[in-house]
Structure 1
Amino acid sequence: MNEKIREAQTSDRRQDTPLETVRFVLSWLLVLVVIRTVLVEPFTIPSGSMIPTLQVGDYVFVTKFDYGWSRFSLPFSPDLFKGRIWGAAPHRGDVAVFRYTQNTSEDYIKRIIGLPGDHVQVTGGELYINGEKVPRRALGAYSVDDERGDAQTGMRYLETLPPSKGGVSVTHQILKQTDAGEPNNTREYIVPEGYFFAMGDNRDNSSDSRFQADNGRDLGYVPMVNLVGKARFVWFSYEARHPVWQFWQWPFEIRWSHLFAVMD
């Protein structure tokens, strides 16, 4: 009996060797990489272009299987294959993460407004899709700070986008400071095949598909292959108004009411 106990103890010690520990850690790292690549990935919101839907300091979960997978779904975006595997078209109104058209190492998050073949135009600050004005309803004045600490003030509206094929109409909030200026009075855009038209919900403070100049900076139409995933919900939100060492302020920096907010 004692011999059997000693053999079991010896076996246990062998399982706790440094090599076994390394294998265990590598196995879990591999699982996390697969989950991040195939299923879901967290992203941080660094700018105010999606206010009021998303705030600076929001952390969102993005599902990566909704639109299929491209090389941009993989860590470091290796050029292993072209196009998308099991690709699926997004729906109008989706809040999507995609790679910036001028620098694919950068992630952008915007709302998909136009799909291939759509006619998109902004006139007098109001959005038109395929010749029809998109209805909006005023919700009242709104103010919040952006990533620079500047106040984003204006009128908050509830906008209802027309449904895309196989989708449903999406009602979401936007922020408007003015109905004047070039971004609020655009030409008619016709979205090319294989692309989509993206806009920020903070309509007067968003660099999006309304800006089409070939100057190496503007977003323009976004290729479908640049899609990374669909934003689902806010899992954490932090204002960071105080220095990080002021730990007693941490509970007051959390936007408790914004946690687990689902994307419209």
Structure 2
Amino acid sequence: MSRFAKSKLRQNVEALVFAVALALLIRTFVFQPFKIPSGSMIPTLLVGDHLLVSKFIYGTKIPFTDKIVFPIEQIKRGDVIVFTYPNTEHDPSKNNIYYIKRVVGIPGDRIELDGRQLVINGQKVPIEFTGTYMDERNGEQFDEYGEDLFGDEHTVIYRKGRDSTNKGSFIPVSVVPEGHVFVMGDNRDNSQDSRFWGFVPFGNIAGKAFLIHWSWDFESPDIANKVRWNRILSGID
């Protein structure tokens, strides 16, 4: 092999190594892709939505520690976050499984739930019935509400005719401890969240979901309608 050919090969290998290293760096510290596997965040997020998660917005986690440095903003009520399951000592099978939910309570908040009425720090969270939502996957209908987490407005749904005495519909006063958040899915009757397995430590949070970059309805029988074009490059509220 000529000296020129060796030099060209070396350049190509170095470029490949650099590209891989850069991709790993971005995935570790900047952005991470995430795919919605379940309907727990319907109607905000649909099964098959592909998201980008900002890993630096809440700060950078020092590898092999729980220490977070250089935060750009603090976690707020209403943020949609990706995190690892927080209760692995009771269910080791869920170790390193990622979830996505909405932050409802931040450190120091007093959380109560009475049926469909969320109460934070003694104040009822404004909620207004807005109509009927139909799940595109199976045609199931839900009661749709606009919820205002004291400045963060979003939509939540409940099963029609659901008995409000079911587990998860009532929470006695719970105070969110320092360094933790309380999370819930927007599909309130179809979500495993802090109502069932407790608070999420900051150290478990991978980042804040901020963009739907692709959406694929794999359950649609019509190939022409599998891509949800109206959701691509949509922000997440």
| Fold agreement, TM-score > 0.5 | yes
1:159 is the counterpart of 2:121: no
What letter is aligned with 2:69?
A: I
Query: Mean alpha-carbon deviation: is it higher for 85-94 or for 116-125?
Result: 85-94
What corresponds to 1:237 in structure 2? 215
Q: Which residue of 2 aligns with 1:226?
A: 204
1:95 is aligned, of 73, 80, 92, to 80
| 2:129 matched residue in structure 1 | 138
Matched, 1:81 2:65: yes
Q: Distance in 2 between matches of 1:176 and 1:242?
A: 24
User: How far is the alpha carbon of 1:104 from its aligned partner?
Assistant: 4.0
**1:53-64 alignment, distance < 5 Å:** 53-64=44-55
Q: CA deviation at 1:179?
A: 6.0
Which structure 1 residue ranges, 4+ long, deviate > 6 Å from structure 2? none
- Per-residue CA shift, 1:92-143, capped at 9, x if unaligned? 1100011111244111100000011101111121111111111112221111
Of 225, 228, 231, 1:255 maps to 228
What is the rounded CA distance, in whole Å, between the counterparts of 1:138 and 1:82 in structure 2? 41
Report percent identity of matched pairs: 37
Q: Which amino acid aligns with 1:94?
A: D
Alpha-carbon contact 1:157-1:175 (below 8 Å) kept: yes
Write the mapping of 1:1-264 to structure 2, written as runs, cut at 5 A.
12-17=4-9, 19-70=10-61, 80-87=64-71, 89-101=74-86, 102=88, 103-145=94-136, 150-162=138-150, 169-177=151-159, 178=162, 180=164, 181-211=166-196, 219-241=197-219, 249-264=222-237
TM-score w.r.t. length of structure 1: 0.79
Higher Cα Rg, which structure: 1
**Unmatched runs of 5 consecutive residues or more in structure 1:** 1-9, 72-78, 163-168, 212-218, 244-248
Given that residues 125 and 179 in structure 1 are in contact (C-alpha distance below 8 angstroms), is that contact kept between their aligned partners in structure 2? no
Q: CA RMSD in A?
A: 2.0
Post-superposition Cα deviations, 1:12-71, rounded to whole Å, max 9, x if no partner, equal 534322x43222211100011111112111100001000000000000111111111226
Q: Which amino acid aligns with 2:111?
A: V
What amino acid is aligned across from residue 159 of structure 1 in structure 2? E
In structure 1, give the amino acid aligned to 2:173: E
| TM-score for the superposition, normalised by structure 2 | 0.88
